[in-house]
């Protein structure tokens, strides 16, 4: 059975993405594994009426179609993966919408990941008060988690 490596990345942070992707590729080669790269479109901040904020309106009641945002993120993710994938390697891409840590943990379970390779910034005050996604994933993952300090 082939091992599976999951690399969650933030497509808006290219520097971190490159470092995480390089580490994930190295780990994938070492394990002779399959590589999945994912990104998560995070939830909109609660308390904000996002239907209006996204459209720039103050009235109306039409729902915003998140599938458009997810589709755009998939295009960007595929572009990043194609630019950084070594020749001969196949990488599968996944985009989810919701809570970052919950979606990463769900995908890891679904694909039966053997390892998660992800980045972590130096913590700020907000991280200590709210708990960063990386810490939650490390605590709750059922597989090994390799954290790349950025």
pLDDT tens column, 52-78: 555 555 454 455 567 888 999 999 999
Q: Distance between CA atoms of 2 and 13, rounded to whole angstroms? A: 30
What's the burial of 42, exposed, middle or buried (CB within 10 Å: 0-12/13-18/19+)? middle
Six-digit token string for 144: 């090994």
pLDDT at 51: 55
Rounded to a whole number, what is the distance in angstroms from the first to the last CA of the chain? 32
Q: Sign of the CA dihedral 38, 69, 84, 10? A: negative
Tokens matching residue 145 = 């988690």
Q: Which domains does the chain have, with CATH numbers?
A: 4-149 (3.40.50.620)
95, 72 Cβ separation under 8 angstroms: no
Question: Using 50, 70 and 90 to split pLDDT, how confident is the model at 129?
Answer: very low
Residue 130 — pLDDT band, cuts 50, 70, 90? very low
3-state helix, strand, coil in the chain (%, to 5): 45, 25, 30
Please say whether the dihedral angle defined by the alpha carbons of residues 145, 2, 29 and 84, taken in this order, is positive or negative: negative
């Amino acid at each position: 059975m082939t091992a599976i490596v999951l690399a969650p990345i933030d497509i808006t942070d290219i520097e971190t993405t490159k470092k995480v992707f390089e580490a994930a590729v190295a780990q994938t080669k070492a394990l002779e594994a399959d590589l999945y790269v994912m990104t998560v479109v995070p939830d909109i901040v609660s308390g904000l009426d996002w239907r209006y904020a996204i459209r720039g309106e103050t009235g109306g009641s039409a729902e915003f179609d998140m599938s458009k945002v997810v589709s755009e993120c998939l295009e960007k993710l595929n572009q990043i993966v194609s630019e950084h994938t070594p020749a001969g390697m196949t990488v599968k891409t996944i985009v989810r919408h919701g809570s970052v840590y919950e979606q990463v943990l769900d995908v890891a379970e679904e694909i039966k990941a053997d390892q998660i390779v992800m980045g972590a910034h130096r913590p700020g005050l907000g991280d200590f008060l709210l708990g960063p996604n990386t810490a939650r994933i490390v605590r709750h993952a059922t597989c090994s988690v390799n954290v790349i300090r950025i």
